């Protein structure tokens, strides 16, 4: 069965600093990978996705993520965070054999300090 | 594009009542919709997969008689929490996918509070 691990429960970053959120997955083949962001009391917004091709994917709001098969990772990065980036971030994996289910990681809460 | 609307956003009701939550895909047709439950400060747990015109597929441990799902059209799925009790209080989120594929697009969630 597929699984996702987000090792960091909570990260605090200064505004303007760079950010990297870690995500490791377990899946038997090349998975579909996603990063979603959730603000308090809201649903999830898709930041970016990886299906195939270029392993460095660009998303919205200046985020990017890199798929590394050898490390089973899909880490999310942003070169300079803004206070509005404070939220909960979820990594998710979906299979690519027609089953549309997503398996989510436990999430990383991002706090931005001035 | 790919907007999913969920209604209501917040509901408070007495124990024993039934509550219906709607999930609509506003600008696309969704053959498949998903219902998740999220406890405070936790991740999303898939409850069931809703397929238009057929019975929903429930995840292990989810009571299908408790959480009734109807997907009567390509743009609407409903989740009814029957005879709700305080332990059913939670944040419920739906998602929908275009063309039966990925990615999923999420509604803004419904906060259900049972007194």
Residue B100 confidence (pLDDT)? 62
Q: Do A107 and B97 touch (CB under 8 A)?
A: no
- Unique residue bearing structure tokens 């995840």: B59
A73 vs A52, higher pLDDT = A73
- What confidence tens digit (pLDDT) does each residue in A84-105 have? 999 999 999 987 665 678 899 9
CA angle centred on A56, ends A51 and A62, rounded to 5°: 105
Peptide bond into B103 cis (omega under 30): yes
Residue A101 confidence (pLDDT)? 81
- Unique residue bearing structure tokens 């209080």: B89
Residue B57 confidence (pLDDT)? 92
For chain A, give the mean pLDDT.
92
Q: How far apart are CA B103 and CA B15, in angstroms?
A: 36
From A99's Cα to the closest Cα of chain B, the distance in A is: 8
- What confidence tens digit (pLDDT) does each residue in B19-49 have? 999 999 999 998 889 999 998 878 899 999 9
Peptide bond into A23 cis (omega under 30): no
Give the strand pairing for A44-50 and A56-58: unpaired
- What confidence tens digit (pLDDT) does each residue in A57-81 have? 999 999 999 999 999 999 999 999 9
For residue A30, what is the DSSP state?
P
Q: Do B43 and A44 touch (CB under 8 A)?
A: no
Q: Do B102 and A44 touch (CB under 8 A)?
A: no
From B60's Cα to the closest Cα of chain A, the distance in A is: 14
- What confidence tens digit (pLDDT) does each residue in B59-100 have? 999 999 999 999 889 999 999 999 999 999 999 999 998 766
Q: Which of B50, B100, B104, B109 to mutate to test the interface with A (most CBs of A within 10 A)?
A: B104
From B70's Cα to the closest Cα of chain A, the distance in A is: 18
């Amino acid at each position: 069965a597929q699984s996702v691990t987000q090792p960091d429960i909570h990260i605090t970053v200064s505004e303007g600093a760079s950010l990297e959120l870690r995500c490791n997955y377990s899946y038997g083949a090349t998975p579909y990978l996603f990063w979603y962001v959730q603000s308090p009391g809201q649903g999830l917004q898709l930041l970016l996705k990886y299906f195939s091709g270029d392993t460095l994917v660009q998303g919205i709001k200046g985020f990017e993520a890199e798929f590394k098969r050898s490390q089973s990772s899909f880490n999310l990065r942003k070169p300079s965070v803004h206070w509005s980036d404070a939220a909960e971030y979820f990594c998710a994996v979906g299979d690519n054999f027609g089953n549309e289910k997503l398996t989510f990681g436990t999430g990383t809460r991002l706090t931005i300090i001035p | 594009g790919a907007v999913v609307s969920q209604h209501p956003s917040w509901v408070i009701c007495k124990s024993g009542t039934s509550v219906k939550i709607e999930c609509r895909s506003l600008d696309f047709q969704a053959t498949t919709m998903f219902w998740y439950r999220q406890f405070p400060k936790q991740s999303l747990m898939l409850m069931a997969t809703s397929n238009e015109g057929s019975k929903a597929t429930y995840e292990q441990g989810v009571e299908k008689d408790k959480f009734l799902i109807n997907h009567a059209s390509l743009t609407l799925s409903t989740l009814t929490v029957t005879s709700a009790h305080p332990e059913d209080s939670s944040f419920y989120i739906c998602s929908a996918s275009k063309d039966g594929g990925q990615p999923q697009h999420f509604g803004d969630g419904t906060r259900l509070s049972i007194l």
